Structure 1
Amino acid sequence: MESAFRRGAREGLRDFLPVSVGLLPWAVVTGIAMRSIGLSEIEALGMNLLVYAGTAQLGSLPLIAAGAPLWLIMLTALALNLRFIIFSAAIAPIFHGQPFARRLASSYLLVDGVFAVGAEKLLKADDPQWRWGYYIVPSVFNWCVWQSCTALGIFGAEFVPRDWSLEFMVTIALMVMMLPMVRNRPMLIAALAGGLGAVLLRGLPLRLGVVAGIVIGIAAGFAAERWLLRGEAA
């Protein structure tokens, strides 16, 4: 009989593949963006391996290009990745009792798409081998797609005409990744408030509008969830 790990891996890939389509343009554009601000091919590849977070990479690149202080670059990347604290806390129970090396690898490979499509199934499943296969195989697949497509953008950046304006592809890719996560009212309110706040505050110095938008979104989502819980308890 097929092992539980293989069953979980097959189902995880099947669920994740539709979402992974958005990775292709996003990764290519990220690779091009890293080269466009002056990073060498080696520097861009190194950043891609160490950071492995497209939103943080794209958010910090304008600051790197503008010569912003290191503390601001790190703060921006941290703010853009705060959601992973929530994601990891939400799925932490499925890794209870797992070896440290496995948990460490899982934290590095955690991405929006895998969490969005798989968190609910992972938390409901009882078989640890099935859960491990369901999580790790699509996560490794995501890593391979991201690294290869970003490398394509890095090494092919000089062949892309500058007037093509590929930035819109990143927006589309982010929307594809975000929509599955907006499943309830607090998440929707957080997304709308954060996006609107970032747009309205885009004129802040040192590009702090993005950080401010993130704070507004988190606060709005938290307030909406508390309000709904009070309504249910009343």
Structure 2
Amino acid sequence: MLARLSDTDRRAFREGARAYAPTLMAIFSWGLVTGIAMSKSVLTLPQALTMSLLCYAGSSQLAVLPLLAAKLPVWTVLLTAAMVNTRFVIFSVGLAPHFSYLPMWRRIVLGYFNGDVIYLLFVKKNFPTGYVPGKEAYFWGMAVASWLSWQVSSIVGILLASLIPDNWGLALAGTLALLPIMVSAVATRSTLAAVSVAAVVALLALDLPYRLALPFAVIAAIVAGSAADLMIERADLRRIRGVNDRAGDSR
């Protein structure tokens, strides 16, 4: 595949894979946990393998397993999965200016392979919007590394669930491994406000059904971040006006 790419795209693809490499162990542990959970649920082996390959969304996969076990209506399962994945709407909005020039089918494929960490690392790269040589290849370098790591670990968890003790604490290990990446993303005051408010809302709404705490936290983060951006922008404008006024008085 790389041989068909230009030199720029090959370099960008490898750079994206290298940028994603530090997160592979965390993703692998999450995939392992998800695979084990699916294998030990009501799903058959073919159903678990199909869910891993088609859904590719660990949080929603884990969220719907208890609902499937309780034999709740399908609409309940779909609603819960949609609520958990609400954040991907935000990710799509963020990626849209970068890939709007692509055909719809390619944007849909990009959406399938997108993920939390992929989006975070892509945004940190600060690419200009629109077409940029190597930008899509950089995304694919991260996406391929993530997808392969997830599928391998998830399938290993599905096939070897009976051999992996429940007390290994893999879910906690994956969470702790991802924390430094998430913390490093808090680079501005508006981001800090969004993260802080989202954390509080998520804790307060933790006991709500259908994992509603997650979409509520996402919405609260958007509102808090937007409000912080607006306040910072207004403060900067007042400061600029103050400097201009003082400069005018000095003349």
Q: TM-score, normalization: structure 2?
A: 0.79
Question: Following superposition of structure 1 onto structure 2, how do residues 1-234 of structure 1 map, counting pairs within 5 Å?
Answer: 3-121=7-125, 123-124=127-128, 128-205=132-209, 207-234=211-238
Matches of 1:223 and 1:5 in 2, distance apart? 38
Matches of 1:189 and 1:62 in 2, distance apart? 33
Deviation string, structure 1 residues 22-55 (Cα, Å, up to 9, x no partner): 2111111111112222222211121122221222
Task: Report sequence identity in percent.
Answer: 35
Matches of 2:184 and 2:76 in 1, distance apart? 31
The one-letter code of the counterpart of 1:83 is R
Q: Is the CA contact 1:8–1:134 (under 8 Å) kept in the aligned structure 2?
A: yes
Question: Larger deviation: 23-32 or 35-44?
Answer: 35-44
| Distance change in 2, residues 1:202/1:118 (3 Å) | closer
Deviation string, structure 1 residues 95-136 (Cα, Å, up to 9, x no partner): 243334332221211112222122343623887441122111
Matches of 1:203 and 1:101 in 2, distance apart? 38
Question: Larger deviation: 44-53 or 76-85?
Answer: 76-85
Matches of 1:144 and 1:131 in 2, distance apart? 20
> 1:168: how far off?
1.6
> 1:187: how far off?
2.5
> 1:14: how far off?
1.9
Matches of 2:131 and 2:204 in 1, distance apart? 47
Q: Is the CA contact 1:94–1:122 (under 8 Å) kept in the aligned structure 2?
A: no
The one-letter code of the counterpart of 1:25 is S
Q: Extract unaligned runs of 5+ from structure 2.
A: 1-5, 239-251
Matches of 1:43 and 1:138 in 2, distance apart? 27
Question: Larger deviation: 28-37 or 145-154?
Answer: 28-37
Matches of 1:229 and 1:69 in 2, distance apart? 47
Aligned to 2:249: none
Deviation string, structure 1 residues 158-216 (Cα, Å, up to 9, x no partner): 11223444332342244255334333223332223222222223333455444443443
Matches of 2:185 and 2:237 in 1, distance apart? 25
The one-letter code of the counterpart of 1:198 is A
Q: Is the CA contact 1:22–1:177 (under 8 Å) kept in the aligned structure 2?
A: no
